[in-house]
Amino acid sequence: MDEKMFDELVNSIREAGKIQRGEKRAARTFKFTPLNIKKIRLKTGLSQSKFSALIHVSVDTLQNWEQGRRVPRGPALALLTILYHDPVHAIQALRE
């Protein structure tokens, strides 16, 4: 790793620490409340079992998200964002 890349990495870590401590705001955040996740599912007209099968997660995971015991992250969060903004095309793509 060259010195410039190392310095960028160190700066990123410092910035993450500031965000964690509340000294700086994150450039972007994505959060869905349990109600929003349930709304996304209800908007699709699918039951918990059909919705969880569609997005390839267990029913338990979906229930944990909907009830606020867990928070979706990474690819699951990205997929929920897509389903939120364009459920018709997202479902069509997932079923093909």
Torsion of the alpha carbons at 69, 70, 71 and 75, rounded to the nearest 10 = -150
| Residue 30 pLDDT greater than 80, yes or no | no
| Residue 32 pLDDT greater than 90, yes or no | no
pLDDT of residue 83: 94
CA dist 7 and 59 (Å) reads 43
Name which of 1-10, 27-36, 38-47, 65-74 the model is least confident about: 27-36
Inter-residue contact 64 to 70 (CB < 8 Å): yes
The distance from CA 7 to its chain's CA centroid, rounded to whole angstroms, is 29
pLDDT of residue 31: 74
CA dist 47 and 43 (Å) reads 10
Q: What is the mean pLDDT of the chain?
A: 91
